[in-house]
């Protein structure tokens, strides 16, 4: 006898769906609480150029913070409401600052302030050195800047976040944090055969302007403690962070060894050699005679490090060449001197923070910098010549003939590197240790232990033109009521200062490069708009010419053969006048219709973009949820069946 008892079905009341909804709500709240507790620092950067992903250099700076730093972000919300571009940029700055705080292990503290007009917060912004910008004619200013301070009350600020520097936002922020965490002014050592810090002999001769320090050294002293290093030094002092070696001639082996070991220990070297120093050629030697040799090189070190900077060749460039006086026998008064030129445009690296914002850099009788064949170093150009350049013998600029140089010029089609960053693990140029000293010279005590190679990748800046520093090629100095006022004509000083600054900031700042911009234009829309505008202008021109011809014919009909107004108009003329008027109305309608029709494609595309950005993603999520619900319902129905 089989069991025919039907299965017991439990009655479903109205409380079951409500209970399920309540359980889902509790689960959602619980997940949010857990995520806020354990995943507060989790980030997913879905931007194409990873705008919100901080580089390893920034993470290293933040990880090495020892003392607390307070950042105050002053942002006027009225600015974003009036100019949406600044609002979008402010969102990026704010999110990046929050990311800095989350990676600082509690060492960074962020305050976000809205300085209302005539408020105490506005007074704090002004006291911190921020720049107020008038938003309208009412005289009230808005602010968009950052002020930072450390425990020693040292302060650094970004006066106003300019959208033009958005590519270097991370560098600017990291540099501010780095300087606050390392408030001691870095030391810059200088080895040079040029009177960079002034020439006492020339000053004693009371020649106006002679003997003064180079303007670039005056700029460097604003950021560094500058210290001369003797040309016969056996060791570079330990407190020197950046060493500038500029046109250093006839260095002894002991000094080469000191520079080598400075680099092996991780010191930052800024080396400028020169195949022909125009600066030295214009200055007599201590005996009053012209310099016997105007070339310099560091081949003793460069050959071992995988770098080439030839001292017998000079780069000449037709683009940006300076106009100089021609020779006495030439018929022309001025001629392009190809050995003196200003590198500009695509000759300057736009990805390096030191050169990205510069307009031009002037070189004089410069040589090129190359990577030696087989070398493993990484050589990144900072400044190159243009494609209208070539390499000639240095002898042609030591006794220059600008007219002949121009007449014989044939561009080789290549771009020659004039200034570059060098990075890599280097072997010492002295594998056997310190060289022997000249007889009668005592070895300096407490020399650091010899290193046969660098412990990690080193960072150098190498250029083959020390005239980069010479005043007459980049600055004009004038007397203003007894004071010397320097006006830059080129960006040489800014480039040298920027490079020294990045080197002093260590590997963390050197590794930072240009990033993308958050404001991404709709290139397709722009192309369509430009194409529509071009086609509209062509059609508009034809219709306008037809309209003008019709109006001219109408005036002729109204005036008569002699040009005077007619008193009697025949029926035929009246009909022709009416036809001309109708033609004018029709032409004007066509003109408006062409403009409206040609813009329909742009407006349609913009509408679809708005729909996709605003409605498509929520619609897809909703459709996915509905589909998932239907699928689950079918599975349950199938299981019950």
- pLDDT on residue 462: 97
Lowest-pLDDT choice from 247-256, 275-284, 623-632: 623-632
For residue 136, the model assigns a pLDDT of 75
What pLDDT is stored for residue 619 in this prediction?
Answer: 74
Q: Residue 227: in which H helix or E strand, if any?
A: strand 225-228
Distance, in Å, from the CA atom of 97 to the CA atom of 80, rounded to the nearest integer, reads 18
Report the C-alpha gap between 596 and 590 in whole angstroms: 10
pLDDT band at 471 (very low <50, low <70, confident <90, very high): very high
The residue with greater pLDDT, 223 or 483, is 223
Distance CA 45, CA 145 (A): 25
Quick one: 111 and 66 in the same domain? yes
Q: Taking residues 248-254, what's their average pLDDT? A: 95
Calculate mean pLDDT across residues 236-249. Answer: 95
pLDDT of residue 425: 95
CATH of the domain at 483: 3.40.50
Structure confidence by residue, pLDDT tens digits, 277-305: 999 998 876 666 777 889 999 999 999 99
In which band, very low, low, confident or very high, does the pLDDT at 201 lie, cut at 50, 70 and 90?
low
Query: Are both 390 and 256 inside the same structural domain?
Result: yes
Say what the pLDDT of residue 631 is. Answer: 80
Residue 208 scores a pLDDT above 50: no
- Mean of pLDDT values over 529-545: 62
Q: Give the CA distances from residue 142 to residues 111, 173, 638, in Å, rounded to whole numbers and listed in that order.
A: 17, 21, 65
Q: What is the pLDDT of residues 78-87, one digit of tens each?
A: 998 888 889 9
Q: What are 495's two structure tokens?
A: 């480039």
Position with higher pLDDT, 308 vs 179: 308
The CATH number assigned to the domain holding 142 equals 3.40.30.10
Of 206 and 225, which is predicted with more confidence?
A: 225
Assess whether 176 and 220 both reside in one domain. Answer: no
Mean pLDDT of the 542-569 span: 64
Mean pLDDT to the nearest integer, 151-156: 89
Tell me what pLDDT residue 286 has: 66
Q: Which long-range contacts (CB under 8 A, 24 or more apart) does 284-288 make?
A: 286/201
Whether 579 has a pLDDT exceeding 90, the answer reads no
Q: Are strands 360-364 and 334-344 parallel, antiparallel or unpaired?
A: antiparallel
Structural domain boundaries enclosing 627: 523-640
Q: Any residues with CB less than 8 A from the CB of 445 and at least 6 apart, and which?
A: none
Output the pTM of the full model.
0.69
**223 or 640: which leads in pLDDT:** 223
| Residue 203 sits in the same domain as residue 315 | yes
Residue 190 has pLDDT above 80, yes or no: yes
Say if residues 456 and 181 touch (Cβ distance below 8 Å).
no
How much is the pLDDT for 639?
77
18 in any annotated domain: no
Three-class SS state of 21:
helix
Last residue of a domain, one of 471, 504, 537: 504
* Residue appearing with tokens 């031009």: 360
Q: Are both 341 and 222 inside the same structural domain?
A: yes
For residue 11, tell me if it sits in a domain: no
C-alpha distance from residue 139 to each of 133, 282, 503 (Å):
9, 53, 42
Region of 499 on the Ramachandran plot (φ > 0 left; ψ -120 to 50 alpha; else beta): alpha
In a domain, 634, yes or no: yes
Instruction: Tally Cβ neighbours within 10 Å of residue 94.
Output: 14
Q: Which of residues 171 and 276 earns the better pLDDT score?
A: 276
Q: Are residues 336 and 408 in the same domain?
A: yes
Does pLDDT of 349 surpass 90?
yes
Least confident of 281-295, 384-398, 437-451: 281-295
Task: Give the count of beta carbons closer than 10 Å to the beta carbon of residue 577.
Answer: 15
Number of structural domains (the chain) is: 3
Look at residue 1 in the predicted model and tell me its pLDDT: 46
Residue 337 has pLDDT above 50, yes or no: yes
Q: pLDDT value at position 308? A: 96
Q: Give the helix/strand (H/E) hosting 240.
A: strand 240-246
In a domain, 40, yes or no: no
Report which DSSP code applies to 348: B
Residues 341 and 463 in one domain: yes
Q: Are residue 426 and residue 401 in the same domain, yes or no?
A: yes
Higher pLDDT, 593 or 441: 441
Residues 245 and 271 in one domain: yes
| Structural domain contains residue 24 | no
Last residue of a domain, one of 132, 160, 180: 180
The DSSP result for 414-480, as a single string, is ---EEEEEEEE--B-S-TT-SPPPPTTPPPPSSPPPP-SB-SS-EEEEEES-GGGG-GGGTEEEEEE
pLDDT tier for residue 202 given thresholds of 50, 70 and 90: low
Does residue 49 fall inside a structural domain? no
- What is the mean pLDDT of the segment spanning 543-570? 64
pLDDT at 481 over 60: no
Q: What is the pLDDT of residue 11?
A: 46
Q: Evaluate if residue 15 carries a pLDDT over 60.
A: no
End-to-end Cα spacing for the chain: 26
Q: What is the mean pLDDT of the chain?
A: 82
Highest mean pLDDT among 274-278, 497-501, 609-613: 274-278
Tokens 């003997």 sit on residue = 211
Mean pLDDT, residues 220-227 taken together: 90
Are residues 299 and 404 both part of a single domain? yes
- Check whether residue 172 and residue 281 sit in a common domain: no
Q: Which one-letter DSSP state was computed for residue 161?
A: -
Q: Indicate whether 6 belongs to any domain.
A: no
Looking at the fold, whether 141 and 254 belong to one and the same domain comes out as: no
Average pLDDT over residues 509-515: 60
pLDDT band at 207 (very low <50, low <70, confident <90, very high): very low
DSSP-derived 3-state class of residue 293: coil
- Residue 369 inside a domain? The answer is yes
């Amino acid at each position: 006898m089989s069991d025919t008892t039907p299965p017991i079905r439990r009655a479903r009341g109205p409380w079951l769906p409500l209970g399920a909804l309540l359980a889902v709500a509790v689960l959602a709240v619980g997940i949010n609480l857990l995520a806020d507790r354990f995943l507060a620092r989790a980030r997913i950067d879905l931007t194409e150029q990873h705008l919100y992903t901080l580089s390893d250099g920034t993470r290293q700076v933040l990880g090495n913070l020892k003392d607390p730093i307070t950042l105050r972000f002053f942002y006027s919300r009225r600015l974003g409401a009036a100019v949406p571009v600044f609002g979008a940029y402010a969102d990026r700055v704010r999110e990046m600052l929050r990311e800095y705080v989350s990676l600082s292990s509690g060492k960074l503290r962020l305050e976000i302030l809205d300085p209302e007009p005539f408020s105490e917060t506005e007074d704090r912004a002004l006291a911190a050195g921020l720049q107020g910008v008038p938003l309208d004619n009412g005289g009230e200013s808005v602010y968009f800047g950052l002020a930072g301070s450390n425990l020693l009350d040292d302060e650094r600020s970004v006066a106003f976040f300019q959208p033009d520097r958005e590519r270097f936002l991370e560098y600017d922020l990291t540099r501010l944090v780095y300087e606050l965490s390392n408030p001691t002014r870095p030391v810059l050592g200088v080895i040079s055969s040029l009177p960079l810090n002034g020439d006492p002999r020339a000053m004693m001769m009371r020649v106006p302007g002679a003997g003064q320090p180079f303007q670039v050294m005056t700029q460097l002293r604003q950021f560094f403690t500058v210290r001369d290093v003797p040309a016969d030094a056996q060791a570079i002092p330990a407190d020197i962070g950046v060493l500038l070696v500029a046109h250093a001639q006839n260095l002894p082996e002991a000094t080469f060894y000191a520079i080598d070991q400075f680099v092996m220990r991780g010191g930052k070297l800024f080396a400028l050699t020169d195949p022909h120093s125009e600066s030295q050629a214009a200055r007599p030697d201590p005996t009053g005679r012209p310099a016997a040799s105007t070339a310099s090189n560091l081949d003793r070190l460069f050959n071992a490090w995988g770098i080439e900077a030839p001292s017998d060749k000079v780069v000449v460039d037709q683009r940006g060449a300076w106009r100089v006086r021609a020779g006495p026998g030439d018929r022309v008064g001025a001629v392009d001197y190809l050995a003196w030129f200003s590198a500009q445009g695509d000759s300057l690296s736009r990805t390096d923070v030191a050169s990205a914002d510069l307009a031009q850099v002037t070189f004089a009788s410069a040589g090129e910098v190359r990577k030696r064949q087989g070398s493993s170093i990484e050589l990144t150009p900072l400044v190159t010549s243009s494609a209208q350049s070539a390499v000639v013998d240095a002898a042609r600029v030591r006794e220059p003939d600008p007219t002949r140089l121009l007449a014989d010029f044939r561009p080789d089609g290549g771009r020659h590197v004039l200034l570059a960053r060098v990075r890599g693990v280097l072997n010492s140029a002295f594998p056997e240790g310190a060289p022997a000293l000249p007889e009668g010279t005592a070895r300096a005590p407490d020399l650091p232990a010899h290193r046969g190679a660098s412990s990690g990748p080193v960072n150098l800046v190498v250029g083959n033109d020390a005239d980069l520093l010479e005043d007459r090629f980049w600055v004009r100095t004038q007397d203003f009521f007894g004071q010397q006022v320097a006006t830059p004509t080129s960006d040489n000083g800014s480039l040298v200062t920027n490079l020294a600054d990045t080197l002093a900031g260590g590997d963390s700042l050197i590794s930072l490069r240009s990033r993308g911009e958050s404001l991404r234009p709709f290139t397709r829309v722009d192309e369509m708009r430009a194409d529509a505008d071009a086609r509209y202008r062509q059609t508009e021109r034809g219709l306008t010419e037809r309209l003008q011809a019709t109006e001219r014919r109408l005036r002729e009909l109204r005036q008569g053969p002699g040009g005077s107004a007619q008193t009697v108009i025949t029926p035929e003329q009246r009909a022709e006048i009416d036809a001309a008027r109708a033609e004018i109305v029709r032409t004007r309608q066509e003109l408006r219709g062409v403009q409206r029709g040609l813009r329909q494609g742009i407006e349609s595309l913009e509408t679809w973009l708005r729909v996709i950005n605003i409605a498509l993603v929520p619609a897809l999520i909703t459709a996915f949820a509905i589909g998932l619900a239907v699928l689950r319902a079918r599975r349950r129905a199938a299981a019950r069946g």
